Amino acid sequence: MSEFDHTPLIVFGGTFDPVHIGHLQAVTRLCESLNATNVIWLPVGEPPHRSSPIASTQHRVAMLRLAIAAQPLFTIDAREINRVGPSYSILTLSELRAEHPHRTLCLAVGLDAALNLPSWHRWEEIFDLAGVAVMHRPGWTFPNPLPDWWRQRETGDGVMPLPGSTGWIKSVAVPPVDVSSADIRLDLAKKKSVEMKVPLAIAQYIREHQLYE
């Protein structure tokens, strides 16, 4: 019997500006696929790969809190927000690895983010610490053939990563939800309703705090 807890710990980073149903449905499906229950949501503070968020950190976290309120095993980890300087995933994963020595860490990314992985700081070291689950996303297609770095690590259909293993990539089909935070911000700037794109409590929060107008 392995000393590892058999259910992976999902680590899901994002700007969440704002969090939307695409994030929620993708992660829920990913949990089903990997038999996972615990998800650490990691809102980024100063994203190294993109421009700064529009909503304040406090609002982004408050919306995330509302979004996961019904899921006791989903938690928010604010370390990337509190870190001074760029918040690189490799630093967070090193810390999480030390804090959860008996868990299989699984970094969850959408396909758009996965395609950019080689531009991340010390990206290859991520595979020494964790596996990576790539969630399908409308508007993005898997490269054919996959680049070598990806093909060598891809687990293949139906193969579950072994407890404690790192270095794998698992592509996971999730419900195609064609929603992005950028669309939502654009809709709100045009005074369009976003109630089909975010949970109701978040639509209310956005309205109440007049975000993204």
- Of 11, 15, 92, 194, the residue at the interface with ligand ATP (CB under 6 A) is 15
**Could you say which of 26, 117, 194, 211 contacts ligand ATP (CB under 6 A)?**
26
Q: Which is nearer to ligand ATP, 101 or 142 (CB)?
A: 142
Query: What is the nearest approach in angstroms of ligand ATP to the Cβ of residue 123?
Result: 14
Shortest CA distance to 107 belongs to which of 119, 85, 91, 86?
91
Q: Are 96 and 105 in contact (CB under 8 A)?
A: yes
Contact track, ligand ATP, 111-140, x by CB under 6 A = -xx---------------------x-x---
Q: 3-class SS at 90?
A: helix
Q: Which of 81, 91, 160, 177 binds ligand ATP (CB under 6 A)?
A: 177
Q: Where are the alpha helices (DSSP H) in 7-145?
A: 21-34, 57-67, 79-82, 89-99, 111-115, 123-129
Identity of the residue, 109 or 206, whose beta carbon is nearer to ligand ATP in the bound complex: 109
- Pick one of 66, 126, 132, 179: the residue that binds ligand ATP (CB under 6 A): 179
Buried b (16+ CB within 10 A) or exposed e, 4-28: eeebbbbbbbbbbbbbbbbbbbbbe
List 8, 11, 16, 59, residue binding ligand ATP (CB under 6 A): 16
Q: Which of 10, 23, 80, 104 binds ligand ATP (CB under 6 A)?
A: 23
DSSP letter at 207? Answer: H
Q: Is 180 in the site for ligand ATP (CB under 6 A)?
A: yes
Q: Cα dist. 112→135, 140, 213 in Å? A: 9, 6, 27
